Amino acid sequence: MTLDPRDFGSLEQRLGERLRHLPDVRAPRRLLPSVMAATAAARALPWHSRPWLTWPVGLQVLSIVIVAATATAAWSVWPEASAIGAVQQARQASSAVRVLWDVLIGPIAMFVLALTVIVSLACAAAWTAVRHVALGGASHR
Amino acid sequence: MTEAERFEAFVREYQDMVFATAVRLLGREDEAEDVAQTVFLRAFERFATIGHSPSAPGWLKTVATNLCLNHLSRYRARWQFFSELDQAGESGTLAFADSVAARDAEDEEAQRQDRDARLEGALRRLPDHQRVPLVLFHFEDRSYQEIAGTLGVSLAKIKTDIHRGREALKKYL
C-alpha cells in the first residue's frame, strides 16, 4: 500500500465528517446505578477515611491550620533546627562523608562505576533481545 | 435537592459523553464501563469544585482519555503500541480490512445494521495503534504533533497509522 498525499486530505475530510456526525453512543443502563452505589459506599465511610478532597471545607481548612501550626512549633521548639545548628550539622555531615569517601568508597569507586556501566549495557542488550525475539508478535490482536 | 441528587443528575447528563469517549478509545464496552465509573468516582471526589463548573465536560473528557491511555498501556501488554517496530502493520491492516468485510458478509445481523452503526463497529475493531490516534484526531481535535507527544511515538508513525486506519474505514463511508 502506498501513501498517496492526494488521497490524504480528501479521505481525512470525508471520514472526519462522517465520524463527527455519528450518533451519540449510549452508556449502558447499569452505569448510573453502579456509579451511585459506589459513591454511596464512599459517602458511608467516616470523613477521615475518605480522600482529603472530599472532606468538608471546614475540616480541610482546619487540617491545613493544624499542619502549619505543628510545623511552625516543631521548627521553633527544636533548637538544632536554627540556622546556626543547621550550618554546624552540615559541616559535621560533610566531614563524615569525606572520611567515608577516603576510607571506604574512594578505593573502589572506579571499579563500581565500571561494573555499573557493564551491568547497564548487559540489561539493555537483554531487553532488546527479549523485545525482538520473545515479544515481537504480541501486540496485534 | 440533596448533594446525592445533584451528583446523580450530573452523571445522567454526562454519562453518554464519557462512555463514548472511553469505548471509542478502548474498543471494548466492558472496559469502557469500568473506566467511565472511575471517571465519575474522581468527579465525585471533586464535585464541590467541578459540579457547577462550565469546564466540567472538558475535565471529564480529559480524565476519561488519560485513564483510557493508561489502561491501554498498563493492562493490554501491547508492547509495540509505543514502538517503531510495526513492520507487519501494513499487510496486517489490509488483512484486517478484508476480514472485516468477510465477517460482515457472513453475518446477516451485521448487514441489517445501518451505515453509522457499521462505521462505529468498524472503528472499534481497528487495531489499538490505529484506533487510538484516529479517535484522538477526529473526536478530540488533537493535532498529529500532540498525538505523537501523548503516545510517545514519532510523528511519521502517527500519520501512517491514522492513514491506515482511514483506509480500513473507507469502505464504510
What is the ipTM, given to two decimal places? 0.71
Closest CA to B24 of A37, A36, A20, A113: A20
- Which three cell numbers, joined as nine digits, stand for B20? 463514548
3-class SS of residue B45: helix
C-alpha cell of residue B112: 441489517
Residue A79 has pLDDT above 50, yes or no: yes
CB-CB neighbors (< 8 A) of A57 in chain B: 48
Residue B13: the pLDDT is 94
* Residue-level pLDDT at B14: 95
Binding-site residues on chain A for chain B (CB distance < 8 A)? 1, 3, 8, 11-12, 14-16, 18-20, 22-28, 30-32, 34-36, 38-40, 42-43, 51, 53-54, 57, 131-132, 135-141
Residue pair B26/B68 in contact by the 8 Å Cβ criterion: yes
Q: What does the pLDDT look like over A123-133, one tens digit per residue?
A: 999 988 887 77
pLDDT tens string B82-135? 544 444 444 455 556 556 555 655 555 555 457 888 899 999 999 999 999 999
Residue B59 has pLDDT above 70, yes or no: yes
Nearest Cα neighbor of B124 from B154, B96, B87 is B96
Q: What is the pLDDT of residue B98?
A: 57
Q: What pLDDT does A81 receive?
A: 57
What is the structure's pLDDT at A24?
Answer: 79
DSSP character at residue A24? P
Q: Per the structure block, which three cell numbers stand in for B147?
A: 498525538
Q: Over the stretch B151-173, which tens digit does the pLDDT of each residue have? A: 988 999 999 999 999 999 988 87
Helix axes A5-20, B128-138, angle to 10 degrees: 70
In terms of Cα–Cα distance, which of B14, B21, B48, B19 is closest to B34?
A: B19
Residue with grid cell 533546627, as numbered in its chain: A81
Predicted confidence band of residue B53 (pLDDT cuts 50, 70, 90):
confident
| Contact residues on chain B for A39, CB-CB shorter than 8 A | 4, 7, 40-41, 44
Q: Quick one: pLDDT at residue B80? A: 47
Residue in A15, A39, A139 closest to B79 by CB: A139
Residue A77: what pLDDT? Answer: 72
Q: How far apart are CA B54 and CA B50, in angstroms?
A: 8
Identity of the amino acid at A23: P
| A31:B12 CB<8 A | no
Q: Which of B12, B77, B173 sits opposite A32 (nearest CB)?
A: B12
- Contacts (Cβ under 8 Å, ≥6 apart) of B67: B22, B35, B38, B39
Number of H helices, E strands in chain B: 10, 0
Mean pLDDT of chain A: 80
What is the mean predicted confidence (pLDDT) over A2-16? 70
Instruction: Report chain B residues whose CB lies below 8 A from the CB of A31.
Output: 11, 15, 19, 33, 36-37
Question: How confident is the model over A87-129, as pLDDT tens digits?
Answer: 788 888 888 888 888 887 777 888 888 999 999 999 999 988 8
Q: What angle do CA A18, A22, A27 make, to 5 degrees?
A: 155
B contact test, residue of A3, A31, A36, A132 with most B CBs within 10 A? A31
